[in-house]
């Protein structure tokens, strides 16, 4: 079986600065795959290259057997790839409801949008109580829930999450990871970027370690947790 998402030897630059130096990995349908690595390694750039926020200079990206490299982000999301960016990036001046509706921007039909919203409230009941509150006035954990909920409004096949645990209290991180697992069980393929390596590896089927714009290690989540190098560098 072909992988659902396949990244082949991509190199991405910011101006003259090379951020990715030939990254290759794949994600199969139904998997949770995690990319771990320290700050500045190139994790976010990898997700941006897939969604189209960053331009890939060489290499290619395939999604469901179609080449999607360098498509604009509003097109890749339409293909079913949702990208929850680092730092949540809630529209602070928009209400919770408006934020969710933006997630459903390309969705046709009031009925469908209502149903999706109920689906989101099923996972994040807190959002339902806050519908008319401005997104920017919510706590970090609530904003992360809104960011994920907003992405779910697209009904994605692949959900890419960039450091969803960043800056959150351990108990909230627990909840978020629990929800990621639930979403995966419902059939959503997950590509999870984390600095919080232990937690990410413990829920992931497979993981890749990025260092300096290259993949230096890969394997099953459970294997990587046991790996001595990883223990030393990321789980200390």
Partner 1 sequence: MLLEMFQTLPQVLIDGLTLGAVYAVVALGYTMVYGILQLINFAHGEIFMTGAFIGTALFIMIMGWGSAIPQILLLIIVLVITASITGFIGVGMERIAYRPLRNAPRLIPLITAIGISFVLQDVIRFIAELTSGNYIVTGPSLFSENINLKTSAISSVFNDASFKTSFLIVLTVAILLMITLDFFVNRTKWGTAMRAVALDRETAALMSINVNKVISITFFIGSALGGATGVLFALQYGTIDPYIGFILGLKAFIAAVLGGIGNIRGAMLGGIMLGVMEMFAAANLSLLTGGIFGAEYKDVFAFAILILVLIFKPEGLLGKPTAEKV
Q: Rounded to whole angstroms, how far apart are CA atoms 6 and 60? A: 8
Nearer to partner 1 (CB atom), residue 41 or residue 151: 151
The residue length of the chain stands at 236
State both tokens at 126. 């807190």
- The runs of H, that is alpha helices, within 124-220 are 125-129, 140-152, 170-185, 197-203
Neighbours of 51 (CB within 10 A): 23
- β-bridge mates for residue 67, sequence order: 62
Q: Is 104 exposed, middle or buried (0-12, 13-18, 19+ CB in 10 A)?
A: buried
| Site for partner 1, residues 99 to 128, rule: CB under 8 A | 101-103, 105-106
Among 27, 43, 116, 208, binds ligand ADP (CB under 6 A): 43
Provide the minimum distance between the beta carbon of 195 and Mg ion in the complex, in angstroms, as a whole number: 8
Q: Rounded to whole angstroms, how far apart are CA atoms 11 and 56? A: 6
Among 4, 6, 20, 44, binds Mg ion (CB under 5 A): 44
| Site for partner 1, residues 139 to 158, rule: CB under 8 A | 150, 154
- Asked if 14 is part of the footprint of ligand ADP (rule: CB under 6 A), the reply reads yes
Provide the minimum distance between the beta carbon of 232 and partner 1 in the complex, in angstroms, as a whole number: 35
Q: From the list Mg ion, partner 1, ligand ADP, none, which binds 182 (C-beta under 5 to 8 Å, kind-based)? A: none
Q: Which stretch binds partner 1 (CB under 8 A): 48-56, 115-123, 183-191, 204-212?
A: 48-56
Q: Rounded to whole angstroms, how far apart are CA atoms 113 and 150? A: 11
Among 11, 26, 29, 98, binds partner 1 (CB under 8 A): 98
- Asked if 131 is part of the footprint of partner 1 (rule: CB under 8 A), the reply reads no
Q: Rounded to whole angstroms, how far apart are CA atoms 204 and 96? A: 30
Provide the minimum distance between the beta carbon of 53 and partner 1 in the complex, in angstroms, as a whole number: 6
- Enumerate binding residues for ligand ADP (CB under 6 A): 14, 17, 19, 37, 39-45
- Enumerate binding residues for Mg ion (CB under 5 A): 44, 86
């Amino acid at each position: 079986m072909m992988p659902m998402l396949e990244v082949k030897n991509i190199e991405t630059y910011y101006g003259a600065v090379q951020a990715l130096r030939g990254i290759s990995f794949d994600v199969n349908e139904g998997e949770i795959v995690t990319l771990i690595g320290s700050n500045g390694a190139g994790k976010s750039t990898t997700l941006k290259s897939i969604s189209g926020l960053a331009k890939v200079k060489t290499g290619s990206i395939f999604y469901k057997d179609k080449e999607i490299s360098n498509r604009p982000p509003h097109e890749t999301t339409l293909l079913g790839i949702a990208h929850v960016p680092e730092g949540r990036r809630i529209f602070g001046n928009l209400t919770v409801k408006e934020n969710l509706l933006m997630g459903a921007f390309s969705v046709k039909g009031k009925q469908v949008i209502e149903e999706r919203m109920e689906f989101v409230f099923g996972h994040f009941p807190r959002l339902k109580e806050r519908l008319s509150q401005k997104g920017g006035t919510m706590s970090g954990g609530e904003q992360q829930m809104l960011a994920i909920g907003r992405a779910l409004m697209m009904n994605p096949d692949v959900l890419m999450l960039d450091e969803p645990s960043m800056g959150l209290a351990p108990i909230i991180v627990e909840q978020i990871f629990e929800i990621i697992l639930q979403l995966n069980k419902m059939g959503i393929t997950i590509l999870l970027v984390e600095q919080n390596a232990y937690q990410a590896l413990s829920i992931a089927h497979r993981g890749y370690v990025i260092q300096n714009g290259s993949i230096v290690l890969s394997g099953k989540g459970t294997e990587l947790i046991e790996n001595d190098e990883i223990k030393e560098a990321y789980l200390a």
